[in-house]
Structure 1
C-alpha cells in the first residue's frame, strides 16, 4: 500500500502544570491539543457510496486508507491539508483501516 499523505490525529491532553486555581484552591489544568502524524491515502467519497459499500448511513466527504492505528476512533478529529475532519466510521482489516471522514467547519 502506497501511503503518501500526512494526516494528523488531534487529541486534547491535560497539561502537566497548572495555570491557576479555582475558587476552592484546586489547581486548574488546561487541555492542550496535540497532533499525532500518520500516513494515509485520501480520496473523495460520498454518503451514498458508504451506504452501498459498507452498509452504513453516515455523512462522508472523504475516505482514508491507512495502516492500523488504535488512536482512530469514531468521532476522532483528523487534520489534513489545513482542514479538520471527523471520523464517522472505520473498518479495521488485518493490514489496513478504511476510515470514513466528514469535513467539519
Structure 2
C-alpha cells in the first residue's frame, strides 16, 4: 500500500494559557485546534459503493486507506487539501484502516 498523501486529524484541545478572565477573575481557557498529520491514500467514493461493498448506508465522498491510527474515530474531522471531512464509517484490519469520509465545508 503506497501512502502518498498527507492528511490531518483535527482535534480541539484546551489551551495551556488563559486567554483572559471572567467576571469573577477566573481564567478563561479557549479551545484551539491541533492538527496531527498522517499518511494515507485517498480516492473518490460514493454512498452506493459503500452500501454494496461494506453494507452500510452513510454519506460518503471519499475513501481513505491508512495505517492503524487510534485517533481516527467516527465523527472525527480530517483535513485534506484545505477541505474538512467527517469520518462517517471505518473498517479496521490488522495492517490498515479503510475510512469513509464526507465533505463538511
TM-score by length of structure 2 reads: 0.97
Residue 19, structure 1, aligned to residue 23, structure 2: no
2:58 paired residue number: 58
1:18-69 Cα distance to aligned partner (Å, 9 max, x none) = 1111123221101110110000000000001001111111100000000000
Give distance in 2, aligned partners of 1:77 and 1:44.
17
Question: What SS is found at the alignment partner of 1:50?
Answer: helix
May I ask how many residue pairs the two structures share in their alignment? Answer: 105
Give distance in 1, aligned partners of 2:33 and 2:18.
16
Give distance in 2, aligned partners of 1:25 and 1:49.
55
More moved, 22-31 vs 40-49 = 22-31
2:49 paired residue number: 49
Question: What SS is found at the alignment partner of 1:24?
Answer: coil
How large is the Cα RMSD of the aligned pairs?
0.7
1:94 paired residue number: 94
TM-score by length of structure 1 reads: 0.97
Give distance in 2, aligned partners of 1:59 and 1:23.
44
Q: Which runs of 4 or more aligned residues in structure 1 lie more than 4 Å from their structure 2 counterparts after TM superposition?
A: none
